[in-house]
Amino acid sequence: MGLTDLMSMAKPNMDARENFLSKLSSREFVNCFQCLKCTSGCTALKLLELKPHEIVKLVNLGFVDELASSDIIWTCVTCLKCVQRCPQKASPYHIIMVLRNMAVEKEAQIPEEYLKTVSRILETGLAEAPQEVTTRKMEVFDRKSLNLPKITFPRESFQVAFMKIMEEK
């Protein structure tokens, strides 16, 4: 959902803010002084109107639930420029990642490709399946015909461990 719509009825929730703080270990987002260095260099600003300084401000004011339900948090390209450039170590990228985790937890609508990836990793250990590649001359190759070594996929004990940590509260 759009953040503007979500915000029209929103009330600040300081408990949610506390909960958020506990998940953001060793980051100092409360020190953000709204200098806009993050937003002025943000890759997703021009593209999809992501304004990282606004996200930081809204978290600080207690609008965590609204952000976690919004679709804006899924526009970050993870270029890490805001982490690098923030003079206050507030790091909007890390804040956005915590918000995404919260969105998953509360089963908000998220781009489905992320959840599909979880299942793929669970099945094979890898996020993607080996593909055939068609060349510019329309020849088709795969790992075998390129003489690349066979992929060794992780055994079942990996699945058990991965499930455990995925299901943990």
Chain contacts with other proteins (rule: CB under 8 A):
25-26, 43-44, 47-48, 74-81, 83-84, 97-98, 100-101, 104, 110-111, 113-115, 117-118, 121, 125-131, 133, 135-137, 139, 141, 143, 146, 148-149, 151-155, 157-158, 160-162, 164-166, 168
**Packed helices 156-167 and 112-124: angle between N→C axes, nearest 10 degrees:** 140
Q: Applying CB under 6 A, which part among 13-21, 36-44, 64-72, 133-141 lies near ligand SF4?
A: 36-44
Contacts (Cβ under 8 Å, ≥6 apart) of 168: none
Q: Where are the alpha helices (DSSP H) in 64-129?
A: 64-69, 81-85, 92-105, 112-124
DSSP output for 6-63:
HHHT----HHHHHHHHHHSTT--GGG-----HHHHT-HHHHHH---HHHHHHHHHTT-
| 59 counts as binding ligand SF4 under rule CB under 6 A | no
Contacts (Cβ under 8 Å, ≥6 apart) of 148: none
| 86 counts as binding ligand SF4 under rule CB under 6 A | yes
Give the end-to-end CA distance of the chain in Å, rounded to a whole number: 25
CB-nearer residue toward ligand SF4: 6 or 96? 96
Task: Out of 10, 12, 23, 34, name the contact with ligand SF4 by CB under 6 A.
Answer: 34
Task: Out of 6, 16, 32, 99, name the contact with ligand SF4 by CB under 6 A.
Answer: 32
The item of other proteins, ligand SF4, none sharing an interface with residue 52, based on CB under 5 to 8 Å by kind, is ligand SF4
Binding site for ligand SF4 (CB under 6 A): 32-38, 42-44, 50, 52-53, 56, 76-82, 86-88, 90, 92-93, 96
